Chain A
Amino acid sequence: MSNCANQHLYVPRSAQILAIEELTDKEKRFVLKFDDGSKLGRGEFIAVYGPGIGEAPISLCSSPSDETFEIAVRRIDPPEGRHDEAYVQTLMNVTTYIHSKKVGDYLDIRGPFGREFPVHELKGKNIAVIVGGIGLFPGVRPLREIAEMREDFKRVFVLFGTRTPQERYFPKLLDEWNESKLFEVHEAYERLANGERGGFVTGVIDTIEGCKPEETAVYIVGPSVMFKPVMASLAKYNLPDKNIYFSLERQMRCCVGRCGHCRVNDSLVCVDGPVFSLQEIKEKHLWEAL
Chain B
Amino acid sequence: MIKNTCYILRREVIPLWIKALMRENEEILAPVATENGKFAFEHLKDAKDIRLDYPTTALSPVQKVFMPAGEKVVSWTKENGKTVFKPDINAKPIVIFGMHPYDIHALKVWDDVMGVEKGLLADPAYLAQRAETAVIGLDVLAPPPDSFCQSLGTHLARDGFDIMLTDLRDGRYFAEVATRRGIILLYTAPHYEPVKAKDYLLRAGLREKVAEQYPKTLPVPLSELKSFLESRVNHPYFDEVGKLCVGCAKCTIVCPTCTCCNIKEEPALDGKNGSRVRECDSCQLACFTKQAGNVIARKTPGARFRHRVFDKFVYDHGYVTSCVGCGRCVSACPANIADPVKTLTLLKEEVPHE
A63 CA to B267 CA in the complex, in Å?
Answer: 35
- Asked whether B122 lies within 8 Å of A5 as measured between CB atoms, the reply is yes
Cβ-neighbour of A10 out of B78, B276, B283 (below 8 A): B276
Q: Does A52 contact B (CB under 8 A)?
A: yes
Q: Does A6 contact B (CB under 8 A)?
A: yes
- Asked whether B130 lies within 8 Å of A1 as measured between CB atoms, the reply is yes
Query: Which of A52, A53, A54 has the most chain B CB atoms inside 10 A of its CB?
Result: A52
- Asked whether B82 lies within 8 Å of A259 as measured between CB atoms, the reply is no
From B288, which residue of chain A is reached at the shortest CB distance? A261
- Given A2-B116, A260-B259: A265 in contact with B310 (beta carbons within 8 A): yes
Q: Does A85 contact B (CB under 8 A)?
A: yes
Q: Does A271 contact B (CB under 8 A)?
A: yes
A266 CA to B316 CA in the complex, in Å?
Answer: 7
- Asked whether A253 lies within 8 Å of B262 as measured between CB atoms, the reply is yes
- Asked whether B119 lies within 8 Å of A9 as measured between CB atoms, the reply is no
- Asked whether B73 lies within 8 Å of A6 as measured between CB atoms, the reply is no
Q: Does A51 contact B (CB under 8 A)?
A: yes
- Asked whether A251 lies within 8 Å of B290 as measured between CB atoms, the reply is yes
Cβ-neighbour of B131 out of A1, A8, A76, A258 (below 8 A): A1
Complex interface residues of chain A between 1 and 55 (CB less than 8 A to chain B): 1-12, 14, 51-55
A232 CA to B346 CA in the complex, in Å?
Answer: 36
Q: Does A224 contact B (CB under 8 A)?
A: yes
A224 cross-chain contacts in B, Cβ below 8 A? 295
A266 CA to B313 CA in the complex, in Å?
Answer: 11
- Asked whether B283 lies within 8 Å of A260 as measured between CB atoms, the reply is yes
Q: Does A285 contact B (CB under 8 A)?
A: yes
A261 cross-chain contacts in B, Cβ below 8 A? 260, 262, 281, 288-289
From B267, which residue of chain A is reached at the shortest CB distance? A52
Q: Does B200 contact A (CB under 8 A)?
A: no
Chain A proximity mask over B255-269: 1 for CB below 8 Å, otherwise 0: 000011111111101
B213 cross-chain contacts in A, Cβ below 8 A? none
- Asked whether A6 lies within 8 Å of B120 as measured between CB atoms, the reply is yes
- Asked whether A250 lies within 8 Å of B74 as measured between CB atoms, the reply is no
Chain B proximity mask over A86-108: 1 for CB below 8 Å, otherwise 0: 01111000000000000001101
B83 cross-chain contacts in A, Cβ below 8 A? 12, 14, 51, 106, 108
Q: Does A257 contact B (CB under 8 A)?
A: yes
Q: Does B291 contact A (CB under 8 A)?
A: yes
- Asked whether A258 lies within 8 Å of B261 as measured between CB atoms, the reply is yes
Cβ-neighbour of A88 out of B120, B263, B267, B276 (below 8 A): B267
Q: Does A182 contact B (CB under 8 A)?
A: no
- Asked whether A251 lies within 8 Å of B291 as measured between CB atoms, the reply is yes
A106 CA to B85 CA in the complex, in Å?
Answer: 13
From A133, which residue of chain B is reached at the shortest CB distance? B293
- Given A11-B87, A106-B83: A55 in contact with B263 (beta carbons within 8 A): yes
Q: Chain B interface: which size bin?
A: 35 or more
Q: Does B237 contact A (CB under 8 A)?
A: no
A88 cross-chain contacts in B, Cβ below 8 A? 267, 269
B187 cross-chain contacts in A, Cβ below 8 A? none
- Asked whether B267 lies within 8 Å of A285 as measured between CB atoms, the reply is no
Write the nearest CB–CB distance from A285 to chain B, whole angstroms: 6
A9 cross-chain contacts in B, Cβ below 8 A? 87, 120-124
Write the nearest CB–CB distance from B313 to chain A, whole angstroms: 12
Q: Does B194 contact A (CB under 8 A)?
A: no
- Asked whether B122 lies within 8 Å of A6 as measured between CB atoms, the reply is yes
B266 cross-chain contacts in A, Cβ below 8 A? 87
Query: Which of A51, A223, A224 has the most chain B CB atoms inside 10 A of its CB?
Result: A51
A171 CA to B78 CA in the complex, in Å?
Answer: 37
A87 CA to B264 CA in the complex, in Å?
Answer: 9
- Asked whether A87 lies within 8 Å of B265 as measured between CB atoms, the reply is yes
Chain A proximity mask over B264-308: 1 for CB below 8 Å, otherwise 0: 111101010010100001010000111111010110000000010
Complex interface residues of chain B between 173 and 211 (CB less than 8 A to chain A): none
Q: Does B145 contact A (CB under 8 A)?
A: no
A69 CA to B24 CA in the complex, in Å?
Answer: 53
A14 CA to B80 CA in the complex, in Å?
Answer: 12
A108 CA to B84 CA in the complex, in Å?
Answer: 9
A133 CA to B61 CA in the complex, in Å?
Answer: 47
Query: Which of B233, B283, B289 has the most chain A CB atoms inside 10 A of its CB?
Result: B289
- Asked whether B120 lies within 8 Å of A253 as measured between CB atoms, the reply is no
Chain A proximity mask over B64-78: 1 for CB below 8 Å, otherwise 0: 000000000110101
Complex interface residues of chain B between 112 and 147 (CB less than 8 A to chain A): 113-124, 126-128, 130-131
- Given A14-B82, A265-B315, A288-B297: A250 in contact with B261 (beta carbons within 8 A): no
A89 CA to B271 CA in the complex, in Å?
Answer: 9
From B315, which residue of chain A is reached at the shortest CB distance? A266
A263 cross-chain contacts in B, Cβ below 8 A? 283, 307, 311, 315
Chain B proximity mask over A243-272: 1 for CB below 8 Å, otherwise 0: 000000111011011111101111000010
Q: Does B81 contact A (CB under 8 A)?
A: yes
From B298, which residue of chain A is reached at the shortest CB distance? A288
A5 CA to B73 CA in the complex, in Å?
Answer: 14
Write the nearest CB–CB distance from A290 to chain B, whole angstroms: 11
- Asked whether B87 lies within 8 Å of A8 as measured between CB atoms, the reply is yes
B281 cross-chain contacts in A, Cβ below 8 A? 253, 259-261
Chain B proximity mask over A204-237: 1 for CB below 8 Å, otherwise 0: 0000000000000000000110000000000000
From B252, which residue of chain A is reached at the shortest CB distance? A260
A258 CA to B115 CA in the complex, in Å?
Answer: 9
- Asked whether B289 lies within 8 Å of A250 as measured between CB atoms, the reply is yes
24 of the cross-chain contacts (CB-CB < 8 Å) are: A2-B119, A6-B122, A6-B124, A7-B87, A7-B124, A8-B87, A9-B122, A11-B85, A14-B82, A51-B78, A88-B267, A106-B82, A223-B293, A249-B291, A249-B292, A251-B289, A254-B263, A258-B113, A258-B259, A261-B262, A263-B283, A263-B315, A266-B315, A266-B316
- A51-B76, A224-B295, A253-B261 given. 6 additional CB < 8 A pairs? A3-B131, A6-B121, A11-B85, A12-B74, A51-B267, A87-B264
Top 3 closest pairs, chain A to chain B, by CB? A52-B267, A260-B260, A5-B122
